[in-house]
C-alpha cells in the first residue's frame, strides 16, 4: 500500500523521515495495525446482490453531510492546563487514535484504487468516500497533536510498519465491528461530556458527534458489502466468523479501555462501566449484520472481562517461572469467554 495521505483533504502530517516510533506508540499487543487483503477477490463483488441498499448508501456518502462540520480553522488547543502525567495520557490517546484512523484511510484508499484499476468505478468511488472520511479524522487528530507539540510522520509510519494480511471475509467482519464499536465509543463519550462539560478539557471533543455519525455510516457501508457476499454469513462459516470477530474486537476493546483507562478517568468516565456499555450496544447493533451474536442474558461474558483484565495485568507484570503460568491463566479465561453461548439473529442475507 502506498501512503498518499498528504493529498487528502484535512490530513496534515509531518513528512520528515524518522526511524523511531512516535511518542506513546511502543510496540505491543494493543498497538493499532495496518492491513491488506484479497484485492482481486474484492474486485469481483456482485453489487446486484444488494443493489438497492448500495445505491442508498452511495448517495448518502456522496452527500458528505459532515463536509462543513470539521472546521479546519478551529483551534484544537487544550482549554485547561493538565499535569505532565495527564498530558501524557491525552497525547497517548491522540497518537493511537490517529494511527488507527490513518490505517483505515490506507486500507480504504488501496481498495478504492484496486477497484478503479479493475474497471469497478462505482465501487472505487464508494471506497474513496470512506477514505475521505478517515483522512479527515486523521487530519483533525494530527492537528490536535501538533497543538501538543507532536508531529507524527504518518506516511513514513505506514510504509515502515508491515501490513497484516487478512482474507476479505475477515476484513469485512472486522471493519464492520471496528466502525460500529467506534460509533458507540464516540457517541457515549459525547453524551457524557455534554452532560459534564467541566470534563471537556479540549475542543477536539466538540467534534465527536459528527465523528460518530461517520463511523456509523461506514459500518452500514461495510454491511452492504457483506450482503454482496452472502456466503460469508451463511452456515457454520457465518457462525464461527461472527463468534471469532465479536470476541476478538470485544476482548481488544476491554483490554484497551480497562488497561489504559486513565484517559477515560480523565474525562470522568468509569472505564469498566464504559467498556460494558459499548460492548452491549455493539453486540446489539451487530444483529443487523451478523447471523449470530453473543447472548449476554446470563451475564457471564461481561463478568469474565474483569478477571481477564486482571490476568492480563498479572501476565505483563510477572517474570521468570511465574510468567508462563500467568499466561496460561489469561489464555484459559479468554478461551472460556470465546466459547460462551450465542444467539441467532434475523440479519438479512441474500443469495
pLDDT value at residue 6: 35
Mean pLDDT over all residues of the chain? 86
Pairing of strands 342-344, 292-294: antiparallel
Residues 159 and 199 in one domain: yes
pLDDT tens readout for residues 283-320: 999 999 999 999 999 999 999 999 999 999 999 899 99
Q: What average pLDDT does range 237-258 have in this prediction?
A: 94
CA distance 166 to 168: 6
pLDDT value at residue 29: 43
**pLDDT > 90? residue 76:** no
pLDDT tens readout for residues 54-74: 999 999 999 998 887 777 777
Q: Collapse the DSSP code of 61 into the 3-class scheme (helix H, G, I; strand E, B; otherwise coil) and give the result.
A: helix
* Higher pLDDT among residues 42 and 348, named by residue: 42
Residues 47 and 121 in one domain: yes
Tally of structural domains, the chain: 2
Residue 24 lies in a domain: no
DSSP class per residue in 151-220:
---HHHHHHHSPPEE--HHHHHHHHHHHHHHHHHHHHHHHHHHHH-GGG--SGGGGGHHHHHHHHHHHHH
Tell me the torsion sign for CA atoms 139, 272, 216, 106.
positive
Q: What average pLDDT does range 189-216 have in this prediction?
A: 92
47 Cα distance to chain centroid: 25
CA distance 318 to 329: 13
Domain region containing 223: 36-230
* Higher pLDDT among residues 106 and 16, named by residue: 106
CATH of the domain at 176: 1.20.1260
Task: Count Cβ atoms below 10 Å from residue 72 Cβ, excluding itself.
Answer: 11
Amino acid at each position: 500500500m502506498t501512503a498518499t495521505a498528504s493529498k487528502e483533504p484535512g490530513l496534515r502530517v509531518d513528512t520528515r523521515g524518522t526511524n523511531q516510533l512516535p511518542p506513546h506508540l511502543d510496540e505491543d499487543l494493543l498497538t493499532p495495525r495496518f492491513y491488506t487483503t484479497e484485492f482481486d477477490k474484492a474486485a469481483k463483488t456482485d453489487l446486484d446482490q444488494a443493489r438497492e441498499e448500495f445505491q442508498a448508501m452511495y448517495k448518502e456518502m456522496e452527500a458528505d453531510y459532515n463536509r462543513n462540520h470539521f472546521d479546519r480553522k478551529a483551534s484544537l488547543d487544550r482549554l485547561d492546563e493538565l499535569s505532565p502525567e495527564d498530558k501524557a495520557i491525552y497525547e497517548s490517546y491522540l497518537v493511537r487514535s490517529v494511527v488507527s484512523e490513518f490505517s483505515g484511510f490506507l486500507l480504504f484508499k488501496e481498495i478504492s484504487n484496486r477497484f478503479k484499476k479493475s474497471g469497478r468505478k462505482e465501487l472505487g468511488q464508494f471506497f474513496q468516500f470512506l477514505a475521505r472520511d478517515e483522512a479527515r479524522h486523521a487530519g483533525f487528530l494530527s492537528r490536535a497533536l501538533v497543538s501538543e507539540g507532536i508531529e507524527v510522520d504518518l506516511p513514513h509510519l505506514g510504509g515502515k510498519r508491515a501490513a497484516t494480511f487478512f482474507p476479505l471475509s475477515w476484513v469485512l467482519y472486522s471493519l464492520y465491528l471496528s466502525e460500529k464499536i467506534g460509533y458507540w465509543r464516540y457517541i457515549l463519550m459525547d453524551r457524557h461530556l455534554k452532560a459534564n462539560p467541566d470534563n471537556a478539557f479540549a475542543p477536539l471533543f466538540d467534534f465527536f458527534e459528527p465523528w460518530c455519525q461517520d463511523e456509523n455510516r461506514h459500518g452500514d457501508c461495510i454491511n452492504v458489502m457483506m450482503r454482496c457476499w452472502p456466503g460469508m454469513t451463511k452456515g457454520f462459516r457465518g457462525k464461527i466468523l461472527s463468534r471469532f470477530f465479536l470476541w476478538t474486537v470485544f476482548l481488544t476493546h476491554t483490554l484497551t479501555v480497562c488497561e489504559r483507562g486513565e484517559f477515560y478517568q480523565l474525562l470522568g468516565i468509569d472505564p469498566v462501566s464504559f467498556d460494558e456499555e459499548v460492548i452491549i450496544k455493539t453486540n446489539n447493533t451487530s444483529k443487523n449484520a451478523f447471523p449470530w451474536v453473543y447472548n449476554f442474558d446470563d451475564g457471564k461474558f461481561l463478568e469474565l472481562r474483569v478477571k481477564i483484565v486482571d490476568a492480563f495485568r498479572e501476565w505483563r507484570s510477572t517474570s521468570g517461572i511465574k510468567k508462563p503460568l500467568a499466561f496460561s491463566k489469561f489464555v484459559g479465561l479468554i478461551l472460556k469467554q470465546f466459547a460462551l453461548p450465542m444467539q441467532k439473529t434475523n440479519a438479512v442475507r441474500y443469495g
